[in-house]
Amino acid sequence: MKTKELELYLNDLLEVPRFKDYCPNGLQVQGRPDVTHIVTGVTASLALVDAAIEAGADAILVHHGYFWKNEDARVIGQKHARLKKLLGADINLMAYHLPLDNHPELGNNAQLGLQLGLQPNGRFSDDQLGWTGTLLQPMPLHTFAAHVGGVLEREPLTIGDPDQMVRSVGWCTGGAQGYFAAAVAAGVDVYISGEVSEPTTHLARESGVAYIAAGHHATERYGIRAVGEHLAQRFDLRHTFIDIPNPV
């Protein structure tokens, strides 16, 4: 498959023009013109680039790419090391940030809900990135938190009464603690995100809505993998998901 064809397909699939993002979405680093093997991962770290080179990838597809708003534009240090490896190996780098969070089937939020067995029933944020859903079987917070940790293979930080019953759930993957107030207003019993901030504790305690910080990386493993699997099936491409461990 031609690299340009792949980029255009992904841009259309993920509805890139809809989003005003903090980084460019799509092809970020140009490599070879043909793609037969795609490596997917959460972040285009040097470790992922090295693993993709070793795997013989033609393209790397990630959620967290490069060239973020307000970052130092100079190609030095960490940026130099990453770009040198990519350009030297002639590997394409494609990244999709908010468009990947949003997709109703393949996106990070959709896939996290699927992994956790949640039944989606709506969106709660103005930008439609926050999701709400229900548990088919209500359970105490401590049981639900253990379920989240078991699925994500990472013990979450949980704030709330361990014995309170959980029926309705709000969630938004990654660094989305800023959506907590909107989730509280939506009337959920618990909100799940990747990260947590100091004010989060007070809002959870004072609102009675529990908060689960399940890990930025852990909550965003599933969307990019789902996109890779979709591409492999649709275009008969080889796909390898590589998870670089991250405790955050």
Binding residues for a divalent metal cation: 63-64, 101, 216, 220
Closest by Cα among 37, 174, 171 to 97: 174
What's CA 11's distance to the chain center, in Å?
Answer: 17
- The DSSP bridge partners found for residue 134 are 119, 168
Q: What is the DSSP letter of 57?
A: -
The per-type count for the chain, helices as H runs and strands as E runs, is 10, 11
At 68, is the secondary structure helix, strand, or coil? Answer: coil
Q: How many Å apart are CA 248 and CA 244, to the nearest integer?
A: 12
The string of DSSP letters for 17-29 reads GG---SS--EEEE
Annotated binding site: 63-64, 101, 216, 220
